[in-house]
Amino acid sequence: MRELNTIKIIAVDHGYGNIKTANTVTPTGVTAYETEPIFSGNILEYAGIYYRIGEGHKEFIADKAMDEDYYILTLMAVARELNVYGIREADVHLAAGLPLTWIRKQREDFRSYLLRNKDVDFRFNGKDYHIRFVGCSLFPQGYPAIVSRLGDFKGTNLLADIGNGTMNILYINNKKAVESCCWTEKFGVNQCMIAAKNAVLDSFGVKIEESTIEQVLRFGTADISKPYLDCITSVDKRYVADIFATLRRYEYNPDLMRLYIVGDGGCLVKHFGQYDENRVTILDDICATAKGYEYLAFASLRRKE
């Protein structure tokens, strides 16, 4: 969180797998209840409905303003970020993003969606919050994660933001983003998850928990027997090979440019990819994009002053 005068600038990276702020990460699952859930933990109360946050992942939708889930997740993210600083009431300027090639068409609708209510009262994890939303800045996904490192981007560079639902690709030449050379592919980590689940089912006739596969994706291993681990690892290696094949379709050449990878897919590339570590940089900080949103929003608002 950043602060300008009395306004709290809070970034929310609305991923399909995880919702990130500068200091928090929460899975995107949302389940609604008309009565208070039996078990506590990550419960948001808003407009007479109880929402359990963080179990499972939200299904991919191209337009995040199509249902209520991302609004509920935004309230949760704001509460979690404010809770880090012990704050329960604030004037909040949101900083968020959309996929590179979708932001032109979706920007205003998503801004209206997030700012639908100026004053919001809700309860999260037993604590009451009163938020006054005073504005919202929207940026293209991926780029904000590296904006503080642009001094390193000499010559031709390719940025790949590999999220749970999409992969955003952007050329950056001599520290400047090339707007005419950006693409969004529906080729996120969730596709690898689905392929791994199907491979285990086909090979062994059993269903495997997504949380177990996530362990393999994130850390390269899990507490499972070798045949299962080998099965999942084989899928992961094919997925990473497909990532590089996709990048080559957009003229990625490791001899002529450097590659920067951000997002959830970075750990997959690190554990299961074959690449030159001297020419490929993987940003491990899953909150890097959210921190970039805050940095850009703060700079923009300060200039306007």
CATH number of the domain residue 131 falls in: 3.30.420.40
7 and 125 part of one domain: yes
Q: What is the pLDDT of residue 63?
A: 80
Name the 3-class secondary structure at 145.
helix
Domain boundary among 140, 174, 208: 140
What the block records as the tokens of 72 is 């509920």
The pLDDT profile of the chain, 305 residues, written as one tens digit per residue, is 999 999 999 999 998 889 999 999 999 989 999 999 888 889 999 999 999 998 766 777 778 888 899 999 999 999 999 999 999 999 999 999 998 888 889 999 999 999 999 999 999 999 999 999 999 999 999 899 999 889 889 999 999 999 998 999 999 999 999 999 999 998 999 999 999 999 999 999 999 999 999 999 999 999 999 999 999 999 999 999 999 999 999 999 999 999 999 998 999 999 999 999 999 999 989 999 999 999 999 999 999 87
Question: Would 290 be classed as within a structural domain?
Answer: no
The verdict on 36 and 61 lying in the same domain is: yes
Q: What is the DSSP letter of 222?
A: -
Structural domain ending residue among the three candidates 105, 140, 175: 140
In a domain, 299, yes or no: no
Pair 227, 249 in one domain? yes
Question: Is residue 213 situated within a structural domain?
Answer: no
CA atoms within 13 A on the CB side of 284: 4
CA torsion, points 133, 22, 161, 196, in degrees to nearest 10?
Answer: -110
- How confident is the model at residue 56, as a pLDDT? 66
In a domain, 75, yes or no: yes
Residue 25 shares a structural domain with residue 130: yes
Q: Are residues 99 and 45 in the same domain?
A: yes
pLDDT at position 55 is 78
Amino acid at site 47: A
Domain count, the chain: 2
- Tell me, yes or no, whether 178 lies in a domain: yes
What was the pLDDT predicted at 243?
A: 97
DSSP letter for 59, please. Answer: P
Same domain, 184 and 235: yes
Q: Where are the alpha helices (DSSP H) in the chain?
A: 69-84, 103-114, 143-146, 189-204, 210-219, 226-249, 266-272, 288-304
- What domain range includes position 18? 2-140
Q: Does 296 fall in a domain? A: no
Do residues 123 and 165 share a domain?
A: no
128 and 10 together in one domain: yes
